[in-house]
Amino acid sequence: MKINLTLPSARTLLLAAAALVVAGILAGGGWYWHATSQQRAMAAYAEAMTKAQPAQSPDATGETRAAAVRELEAVLTQYPSGRDAAQVAYLLGNLRFQSQQYPQARAAYELALAQGAPRTLRTLSRGGVAYTWEAEKNYPKGVEAFKFALEGLGPKDFYYEELLLGLGRTQELGGQKAEASATYRRAVSELPNSRRLDEIKARLAELGS
């Protein structure tokens, strides 16, 4: 049997080539747009965080903090998913916390986590969530949040001591004395060189352990 193979015409080849060129231009344009958008976001984030620095001082006025909060919220609204969005959200959470706006602070810390914060910032943001629950005297949720913040961390990890003692303190405040004692004993065992060792032992003595 003879099979006839029909070769594509010159017109078809030219159209295909043109389509490839257009696809390449679109891909290049998309990359350029993404890169320039990221650059604009980074510049806007840097400017907002620089302006917010004075608001982090303990002596900052309420209006100074409020202005910084507005600045950070505006840049997150304009650029919600830039590379440093998590850092901006964490700073926003801290300013909200300083202003005793705990639900709003928690939302900002959770936004930092949702943005894929790197390890150190993730640990700080998880801790921030726990501190907001503790500040609101919602100790059961505070305990759970501290436990969540401690997941995957060990005695040599950054912020481990603060989070572990935060867990013990929140358990104690929430009336979970046995659990608090266990947490403080864990701290004594895992952090034998802690500068807060005397404080931890005093808490154990207070709890009768």
Please report whether residue 142 resides in a domain: yes
What sign has the CA pseudo-torsion 133, 136, 137, 138?
negative
Element at 166 (helix H, strand E): helix 160-173
The end-to-end CA distance of the chain, in Å, is 95
Q: How many domains does the chain have?
A: 1
Look over the chain and give the mean of its residue pLDDT values, rounded to a whole number.
86
Here the CATH number for the domain that contains residue 53 is: 1.25.40.10
For 39-58, what is each residue's pLDDT tens digit? 888 888 888 888 888 888 88
Which tokens go with 78? 């304009």
What integer pLDDT is reported at residue 32 of this predicted model? Answer: 44
Query: Which domain covers residue 127, as residue numbers?
Result: 10-206
Please report whether residue 177 resides in a domain: yes
Look at residue 185 and give its three-state secondary structure: helix
Q: Using CA atoms, how far apart are residues 23 and 147, in angstroms rounded to an integer?
A: 50
Please report whether residue 5 resides in a domain: no
For 8-49, what is each residue's pLDDT tens digit? 556 666 665 556 655 555 445 554 444 566 688 888 888 888
Please report whether residue 2 resides in a domain: no
Please report whether residue 190 resides in a domain: yes
How far CA 96 is from CA of 23, 67, 70, 99, 140, in Å, comes to: 46, 12, 11, 5, 22
For 93-132, what is each residue's pLDDT tens digit? 999 999 999 999 999 999 999 998 899 999 999 999 999 9
Please report whether residue 198 resides in a domain: yes
CA atoms within 13 A on the CB side of 181: 10
Please report whether residue 3 resides in a domain: no
pTM of this structure = 0.79
Please report whether residue 99 resides in a domain: yes
For 66-84, what is each residue's pLDDT tens digit? 998 999 999 999 988 778 8
